[in-house]
Amino acid sequence: MTVQTYWAEYALLPAPGATGERPAPGGAAGEAALRVASDVLVETGSDGRITGVTSGVTVPPPGAVWLRGLTLPGLANAHSHAFHRALRGTVQAGSGTFWTWREVMYQVAERLTPDTYFDLARAVYAEMALTGISCVGEFHYVHHAPGGTRYRDPNAMGEALIAAAAEAGIRITLLDTAYLSAGFGEPPTPPQLRFSDGTADAWAERAGALTDRPHARVGAAVHSVRAVPAAELSTVARWAADRRAPLHVHLSEQTAENEACQAAHGLTPTGLLAEHGVLGPRTTAVHATHLTAEDIRLLGDSGTGVCMCPTTERDLADGIGPAVQVRDAGSPLSLGSDSHAVIDLFEEARAMELDERLRTRTRGHWTAAQLLRAATADGHRALGWENGGRIAAGGLADFTTIALDSVRTAGPRPELGAETAVFAASGADVRHTVVGGRHIVCDGHHQLVPEASRALSESIEALRG
């Protein structure tokens, strides 16, 4: 880690007296919890944390790195499938459904090796850093070689992802995913064999060999109630609980999953997860698009988080999830770019509000500060980085700076920085990204992967059939 002092022209800081705790469900605490300060000195230590934050420093000290624009906490991308980035553009041609999209996705997954996955993920994570993302939750299920044969190192694919994040300079929570069946009572299909460990116990043994690193945490995931038999759900939940690790699960992304679960178990997917101990404060349900009122109550009462991925949910025509209702029930919200149709957490935050406006024909379901909380502090919590997502002493020294003079962001007063970031900016406005005190993106250029676009092109071309 690097000891460095940064001077931010403007920065989004916790308001005086703010605790950094989540706002009460449905409340407006996010409005009062953040403020735009000017001339902010941010000092970082060798442990990768912020050691001091001082506003009103009009003359930066010698050696300070200047950050012109608005500096925000680093963004947390709480749901990623890195290899899906190879689908961008390709799957937008023609028409279809989630299920036809999935067949194209399987074709790409079939061609991955530890080496090609490292190359692709390194480039994808560099793209994330260039858009202000300092931490990613990688929902990882491509574990084995085609046909299900184990690599010499059974975690070669997961290790490739951890190494890729390190080389791109960002943090990662590897959500090692149990994926055991094709559907309720159905064995894996040929493309799914490389996802499966056979049983939850075998998954737990393999995943247990993965270890945390300074830049990496290891968590768990249930791919879905379709992919993990009901009798094995508790094994995955217990593994995560024993390690106090994050546990994520795709939930009710399509109505077909709900109908199949009702036919097999007489329960909704949420009800089935509740029955087997999967829900809870360290659990995050991804998508949660098609929920009943009782599902929403179960998620809220258990403190289960919900990760919305609006650009993917749009791209796959999945629907608009009940984000307001789950928030009001008590579920903290986070955001993810999922299939990477675009990688832009500002767009994900904006979309959560704008999609709700389309659904209800009313405005103002979240403040800009609350949407930024979902993209920063609550995203970090969902990934097990409790000290991330805030520019304050003791927090992770992870922050990003957006330009306030681009054609998108020019005009608003600086004190409207949160609104400018959420409702005007895009990832293209990011000028700087700092992770652990280390200057990863400087003036819009990635310092570790200097030709990220070429790296993307070459790694994707290597996967074409």
Q: Are strands 171-178 and 216-222 parallel, antiparallel or unpaired?
A: parallel
Q: Can you list the alpha helix ranges (DSSP code H) found in 244-306? A: 255-265, 269-275, 293-302
Find where tokens 């070689």 sit: 145
* Token reading at 455: 């790296």
Q: Please, are residues 179 and 193 in contact by the beta-carbon 8 Å criterion?
A: no
pLDDT along the chain (465 residues), means of 10: 88 77 38 84 97 97 97 98 91 74 86 97 98 98 96 98 98 98 95 97 98 98 98 98 98 96 98 98 98 98 98 93 97 97 97 96 96 98 97 98 98 96 98 98 97 96 86
Contacts of 231 (CB under 8 A, 6+ apart): none
Contacts of 195 (CB under 8 A, 6+ apart): 141, 142, 143, 144, 177, 179, 188, 223, 227
* E-only strand ranges, 288-358: 305-308, 333-335
Long-range contacts of 88-96 (CB under 8 A, 24+ apart): 88/340, 88/341, 91/315, 92/315, 92/341
Distance CA 15, CA 106 (A): 47
Distance CA 72, CA 212 (A): 26
Rama region for 39: left / alpha / beta (φ>0; ψ in -120 to 50; rest): left
pLDDT computed for residue 26 by the predictor: 38
pLDDT computed for residue 91 by the predictor: 75
Distance CA 100, CA 93 (A): 12
pLDDT computed for residue 116 by the predictor: 97
pLDDT computed for residue 13 by the predictor: 97
pLDDT computed for residue 24 by the predictor: 37
Q: Can you list the alpha helix ranges (DSSP code H) found in 75-193? A: 98-111, 114-130, 156-168
- Amino acid (1-letter code) at residue 201: D
Contacts of 96 (CB under 8 A, 6+ apart): none
Distance CA 302, CA 285 (A): 12
pLDDT computed for residue 31 by the predictor: 44
Q: Which helix (H) or strand (E) holds 13?
A: strand 5-14
pLDDT computed for residue 97 by the predictor: 75
pLDDT computed for residue 434 by the predictor: 98
Distance CA 345, CA 128 (A): 9
Distance CA 336, CA 248 (A): 12
* Token reading at 424: 């005007």
